[in-house]
Amino acid sequence: MAELTLRGVSKRFADVEVLKDIDLHIEQGEFVVLVGPSGCGKSTLLRLVSGLEKVSSGEIAINGKRIDGIGPAERDLAMVFQSYALYPHMSVRRNLSYSLRIRKMSRVDIDERVSEASRILGIEPLLDRLPKQLSGGQRQRVAMGRAIVRDPQAFLFDEPLSNLDAGLRVQMRKEIRELHQRLGATSIYVTHDQIEAMTMADRIVVMRAGRIEQIGSPMELYERPANRFVAGFIGSPA
Ligand code: ADP
Ligand code: MG
């Protein structure tokens, strides 16, 4: 997988600047969590990295190579949303293979990738089911499987666990972290849940109103918050 760099990235919608001069470097293998109140620009930042939105100014690079000018398909990054983003009319197998079939990968290679991802996630027995025949946790594993099969440069998670119940959320946090480790992945993970950020992150990026307030390990932010906002945000329960 890859390292990711944002330099002076800003984003305006009409005349409203929702991201302001964002500088962020993510090392290969890092699990970086973006956290901050609703509306602070977390999803927009992910959408700029994935290419679903264009930057207004600034640069985004993967392994030193600029990607801000190219389309989402060529960026080779995988977004993971909430589990309801599965295609409801397709079996699990087809949900997993869809992006590969679009890329015109050979049948043999597709089958191999799908088997490997299903084995890693423990969803082999579910391949012929439809999403509606799965539990919340199973759906979330399929959503992750869809990201893994593409063998992307990095994973971009946008609040993937927010519609799961509390117990399952705790379990899936662990599974996502283990998966990240096992694949040697580079991941950006968005949440508004402080506990999720504290338990999952190598480094946390605290955002407020389109700016980065502080970047640091969970321990650093907890022990040396840069200001009251960070202290309040990391200190208060989810
Ligand atoms: P978060 O994910 O942190 O909750 P978002 O990135 O979704 O925040 O949104 C940041 C701000 O940008 C919000 O004020 C939101 O209303 C605005 N915004 C997001 N997408 C658009 C868009 N396509 N057009 C106009 N405004 C948008
Ligand atoms: Mg969001």
Contact assessment for residue 215 and residue 203, using Cβ atoms and an 8 Å cutoff: yes
The sign of the torsion formed by the CA atoms of 162, 168, 174, 175 equals negative
Residue 220 has pLDDT above 90, yes or no: yes
pLDDT over threshold 90, residue 125 = yes
* Residue 158 alpha carbon, nearest atom of ligand 1: 2
Rounded to the nearest angstrom, the gap between the alpha carbon of residue 105 and the centroid of all alpha carbons in its chain is 24
Kindly report, residue by residue over 179-200, the tens digit of the pLDDT. Answer: 999 999 999 999 988 999 999 9
CA separation for the pair 228, 59 (Å, rounded): 30
Window from 8-12, 83-87, 179-183, 229-233 with minimum mean pLDDT? 83-87
Average pLDDT estimate for 170-187? 93
pLDDT of residue 164: 86
pLDDT reported for residue 238: 43
Amino acid 123 reads I
Confidence band (pLDDT; 50, 70, 90) for 32?
Answer: very high
For 151-187, give the DSSP string: --SEEEEESTTTTS-HHHHHHHHHHHHHHHHHHT--E
- Candidate from 12, 13, 47 with most ligand 1 atoms within 8 A of CB, to mutate: 13
pLDDT in tens, 45-92: 999 999 999 999 999 999 999 999 999 989 989 998 876 689 999 999
Q: b/e string for 110-135 if b means 16 or more Cβ within 10 A?
A: beebbeebbebbebeebbeebbeebe
Return the pLDDT at 127.
98
Residue whose C-alpha is closest to residue 32's, from 6, 57, 51, 54: 6
Q: Which ligand 1 atom sits closest to the C-alpha of 44?
A: 6
pLDDT per residue as tens digits for the range 94-103? 999 999 998 8
> How far does residue 13's CA lie from ligand 2's centre (Å)?
15
Q: What is the interface pTM, i.e. ipTM, of the complex?
A: 0.98
Q: State in Å: Cα 18 to ligand 1 middle.
A: 7
Residue nearest atom 14 in ligand 1 by C-alpha distance? 39
Tokens, residue 95: 């949900």
- State residue 83's pLDDT score: 63
The four Cα atoms 211, 147, 5, 54 give a dihedral, to 10 degrees, of -60
**pTM recorded for the entire structure:** 0.93
Q: Which atom of ligand 1 is nearest to the CA of 190?
A: 2
* Distance of CA 232 from the midpoint of ligand 2 (Å): 20
Mean pLDDT confidence for 155-184: 91
Instruction: Name the percent of the chain lying above pLDDT 70.
Output: 97
